[in-house]
Homo-oligomer: A and B are copies of this chain.
């Protein structure tokens, strides 16, 4: 790897490695040549294949922070938490040192806000609605959320029959567009990777793939960091715990709970 390359860590926030390779390949296919990407999932007894429930998320919050700490120490420029609930985002941002932490929901919305007056989010199941709506409002975009539309497919089934999933997204997206007056769509799960393109062609409005939005935001913000020194604030609410406290409390002494790791290096340097 080039000494000075931008380095991005993509966290699949699960103790379940099966998404690592396809998501990694997908990211590899869209990344800038001069960026090195590491894709990881956790080493954990909890073998969840989705984060549809708050319970599941709760069980990976600690590990997400532990791995972000690792990213900070290892000098990554940016970290992406690869789940559309943006779990542990604020927690990770606190301990990320000079690494920027990015997540798909916030990143997707920020893109959409440059392309349209409002947007709808396509969700897999009704379960997601309450929590994601809360997130969107948290970021300040409540008034721009035209609707949530569910396609009634569980997160881990989204890639099972891509044609079927696309059809459902197109149908739900068309309703969002025609009935809720959405001007753009966001796919509300990172497991939809690769499905946006056809939907966009079909409906004729921007359809945001959250993996692309989040990953490219990480590249963008990592670039700003390297070029202009825009690292995360460490003041007031953004202050991190002191190293003394971390030592005193015995935190982060163990190796980071990384179970699986894939590297997608700077092109030509692998």
Contacts and interface: CB of A to CB of B under 8 A. Distances in A.
A131 interface: yes
B237 A183 contact: yes
Contacts of A45: 250, 253-254
Q: How many of these chains are in the complex?
A: 6
Given A144-B140, A208-B230, A236 B91 contact: no
A59 interface: yes
A102 interface: yes
Interface string A68-108: 00000000000000000000101110110000111000100
A200 B229 contact: yes
A228 B187 CA distance: 14
Contact of A181 (B49, B62, B126, B137): B126
Contacts of A237: 117-118, 127-131, 181, 183
B115 A100 contact: yes
A111 B230 contact: yes
A26 interface: no
Given A110-B113, A208-B230, 8 more contacts: A46-B251, A53-B245, A54-B91, A54-B94, A54-B95, A55-B91, A59-B65, A130-B183
Interface of A: 30, 45-49, 52-62, 64-65, 88, 90-92, 94-95, 100-102, 106, 110-111, 113-118, 126-131, 134, 137-144, 177, 181-184, 196-197, 200, 204-206, 208-209, 212-213, 216-217, 220-221, 223-224, 227-241, 245, 248-251, 253-254
